[in-house]
Structure 1
Amino acid sequence: MSERPRSPERFPMWTPHRWYILFWVLLGLCPVALAGAGDPGAKRLWAVGLPVLLGLSYLVVRVFPGNRVLRPSAFPAVLTVGLVALAYVRDGGASLYVASLPHFWFAARAPYPSIMRSGVAAAGTVLGGVASQGWSPNLLTGNTTATLIAYAVSVPVGLSVHRYIEQNGARVRALDSELAGARERLADADLRRGAAEERERLAREIHDTLAQGFASIVVLAEAARSGLANDPDTSERQLLSIERTARENLAEARVLVGSAPQSGLVTGSPARVLRRTLDRFAQDTGINVEAELPDVECDQRTRIALLRCTQESLANIRKHADAGTVGVVLTRVADGVELEITDDGRGFVVDEARGFGLDGMRRRLAELGGELTVTSSVGDGTRILAMIPVDGAAEAAGADVADVHDYRRESAT
């Protein structure tokens, strides 16, 4: 299998590999070429041309790694031929061999091919000198000895460096595996958290809409059934209220399953929306309602939150308070909107309150940056205060949406 070419971008600027190439050119090729410039005749041409050709060959490999003439895996062979030729042309091939040793390790992915290639280059350098000068005991010193010593030293050094790189690579792979596992666990946790938040949101919406509507239907149905014989007119009004509540529940259910736009449920200003809800409450329960509802414009989410808080408070008053009068005040304050709902019912101990309603209201308001304050004591009634911050942009958007809904409603009538 052929070795995959390495892209020049594999080694960023000023990495150890780049520093080595600078060292190889300046302290390996250039000294040999300069030394050969003083040789006579054809010997000078070979002594200068061979280092230049080696440098150009490496440049071609790095700049054009996919060329068909000289591939990166073939450069050690070209380098070996050049070392042998230089050792044959002139004495001094050992210095270039020493400077070129890292090339044999860079070009191979395993240590043993590097050992073999550098060993062949060392033997070729020695034999090139022997072929040029002939055998003599003097060859056992100088360039031959330097070449053999360099090769002997390069083997353990190269193996140590390769082992160090492999260990680092193993650690990197282990860290990558741990990071991938952590990412998967984080994604699973985000998925579970998102599912839990969605379940909580649906539970809150169902409690604030469908559950309250069904509770109202049950109460009205019981009252209508008991009054059919003695007060048919009241029973008829209660049946009409049951029908209206059932239709609203159907619309809410369609919103929850995503088959209808949520924006169509709460139209107009908060004052108009709350007024319709309070009128229905007073009609169904007979409880006196005193309301101060000025025109306060806000965005759709704020209108929905105000409506849900009002519906939940009225449902609690109907079920638990036994109140005679309910007060509702909507106020535009400097940094938002306040909704105050009071009753003169039996009250309760706030710290002992259990149930989904109050907690759901707190969470809904918290999503908008608001807060809920509940004040009550046994026998003294209850006060609910909801505060929602409203900025100018949201208020303007709410006014525009309200105007559009009002225009459509007026056009339809």
Structure 2
Amino acid sequence: MQRIQGLLRGYWLEIAVAIAALNGALEVALRQDTTNAPDVSAWFGAPAVALMLVPLLARRRWMFGAPALVWLLASALSFVDGRLVVFSGSVFAAGLVASFLLGNLPDATQSRIGLLVVVGGAATVAYNASGDASGSYVFLPAMFATPWVAGLAFQQRGARAEAAELRAARLARDREEATLAAIADERARIARELHDVLGHSVSVMTIQASAVRRVLAPEQTKERVALLAVEQTGREALAEMRRLVGILRLEEEPPGLAPQPGIGQVPKLVEQAREMGLAVGLRVEGEPMPLSPGVHLTVYRLVQEGLTNARKHSDASRTEVRLRYGPDGLEVEVCDDGKGAAAVDQGGHGLAGMRERVSIYGGEFEAGPRPEGGFRLRASLPVHP
């Protein structure tokens, strides 16, 4: 049953054309004795009427040729018998459908040629049917040109809708590519920043191992060898990290000499935002706890991104920065009273990078408009022992 329903939905016009062709043939064959009946015999007239409708069955394959052939056959048969073409209502309906299909062609040149075929065919049929130069062969072409105009309107509306869909798909694709590029850039930036953090830790470890090795007693040979191995491994690790960062670092980017910022620099960051004209409040809740250098840097970047969005994209008049220390971790929140949707649209790439940073430490990140208005950036960072 579903297959039959699918065929009916997909080929309803073809089914209607077949029924109309059969109806037209029977109409000519059974109404030979009526007024205005065609002069040709039923043996010729019935198949001829059906033949005029048959080209519509091939409309999917020959979008221009099939409906144009309907009018060409009608014009040709009108010279054989002028009343044969106008006698059946099925032929009239087929002419309307053919006119619509010609107007609905995506090729503008073919559509205009189709209009000429419709007008010329209708005028020919009207003239041969009336037998004189009466106004019928002016009215009939105008009547059949109407569905051509309707088909043209449908085609143009469909073309506009398709163009809008293509633009939307292209914008979505461009936005996705830009987001992926932003994530890749942020990953490279994270790697460069973590090099400084890890490099400092490895350097301290290497120096301490060297210091301990130098104060060992002469008989502590095994301990001296083990510490020497630690030193060598540390130096090799530092060299490898420098090579990797050299690959990731941009050509125009100078080497990072200053220490990486952390939570301790957040008040300075807030003060800088105030100097730029943004009203910012800072609130710290809970008891501060030891955090890894990478988490320190992530918190700083989150606050920095939140304040940048508030200043550049949200048109906010008030922004609040909150740091909440809890038993399971640290929660960072930056809220403003600006235009929430605008911050999402214009600051999306930076937010994608922040999401990437938080995910590295197994945290949760969310950013979006607040129900009461404005925009909120929030991240929860677990503290691992």
Question: Which has the higher Rg, Structure 1 or Structure 2?
Answer: 1
TM-score, normalized by length of structure 1? Answer: 0.47
